[in-house]
Amino acid sequence: MMQQAATSPLLKVENLVVEYVVGNKIVHAVSDVSLEIARGETLGLVGESGCGKSTLGRAVLQLRPAVSGKVLFDGEDLTAMQGEALRKMRRRVQLIFQDPIASLNPRRRIGDIVAEPLVIAGVRDAKERHDRVCKVLNAVGLDPALTIGRLPHEFSGGQCQRICIARALVLNPEFIICDEPVSALDVSIRAQILNLLEEMKARFGLTLLFIAHDLAVVKAVSDRVAVMYLGRLCEVAPSEELFARPAHPYTALLLEAIPVPDPDIKPAERVAVGEPPSPIAPPSGCRFRTRCPRADERCAREVPELRPVGPRQSVACHHPLT
């Protein structure tokens, strides 16, 4: 993992709000989220299912329009772009989907699937497309001669994810959003794909937003980690700092929930109270307060803002652990 000097961030999200309309109700998926990702950095984004991680990733690409806020990529506001300008910018930002098999068209050959971004980008030379497809397939550990003419169902889940990574790399992007890229894979295959992502990051100079709910995976690949709960950021810190000294009660509970493969170690007894609230009607103030053992009247009255509690650690909590 690369350590970055203090430079302007490649991606900057400012006060982003994303909502879904369901019938006559509104789902508050992402609420006033701000974060930065430096060039060459991997930011891990973690949280429970339904907390808004994937929605945030899709909103960065403008696949889900934001209600308000900005997404600045290399200084340019993606939320203000439309049409051809947005299509050109998307060549620099790519997405790896959660389910590798479902994200591949079952009726198309692998060569055509990987080459499709080049066709959309206007690369008309068939030989150039073929050469670039072969190059990225080799880069992800697949033999082009044995891969290009076959269909997705002829490959395993791990091989399909390698194909998806090749498709994301074929346009030579600078930034890739990895939306839980290993959650649908067998445990034995996950390490291979994670190692491949690290290799591709170093080889192509990539910046990654790595979305996951598996904290062990996030710790292995991330330079910094952002913790999300019910549409809001709870804590942002360097990976080692967050795992060693969590500042938010929710982060501490997530870490305590990691199973330890030792039958002699008793699990922690401290657990969150009740079920997560609905994003249709989130609690006032701190959204974690209804499950937090440290909550008081202030937590119900005031929304906590991210504030520094260490050199590079910020937490949105009125009563942080550190």
Per-residue confidence of the chain (322 residues) as pLDDT tens digits? 444 444 789 999 999 999 999 889 999 999 999 999 999 999 999 998 889 999 999 999 999 889 999 999 999 999 998 888 888 898 999 999 888 889 999 999 999 999 999 999 888 999 999 999 999 999 999 999 999 999 999 999 889 999 999 999 999 999 999 998 888 788 878 888 888 999 999 999 999 999 998 888 898 899 999 999 999 999 999 999 999 999 999 999 888 877 777 777 776 665 556 678 889 999 999 999 999 988 899 999 999 999 999 888 999 999 998 7
β-pair partners for 68: 17
Distance, CA of 204 to CA of 77 (rounded, Å) = 24
Residue 71 near residue 17, CB atoms below 8 Å: no
- What are the tokens at 319? 């009563």
The DSSP code for 102 is T
The domain at 11-92+173-315 falls in which architecture? 3-Layer(aba) Sandwich (3.40)
**Contact yes or no for 144/114 (Cβ under 8 A):** no
Q: Are 135 and 95 in contact (CB under 8 A)?
A: no
Pairing of strands 93-96, 207-211: unpaired
Rounded distance between C-alpha atoms, residue 79 and residue 289, angstroms: 32
Q: Which two tokens stand for residue 290?
A: 């209804």
DSSP label of 49? T
Q: How many residues does the chain have?
A: 322
Q: Specify the pairing of strand 11-22 against strand 68-73.
A: antiparallel
Tokens 């050199």 correspond to 311
- Ranges for all domains in the chain classified under CATH 3.40.50.300: 11-92+173-315
pTM above 0.85, yes or no: yes
Encode pLDDT of 155-184 as tens digits. 998 899 999 999 999 999 999 999 988 887
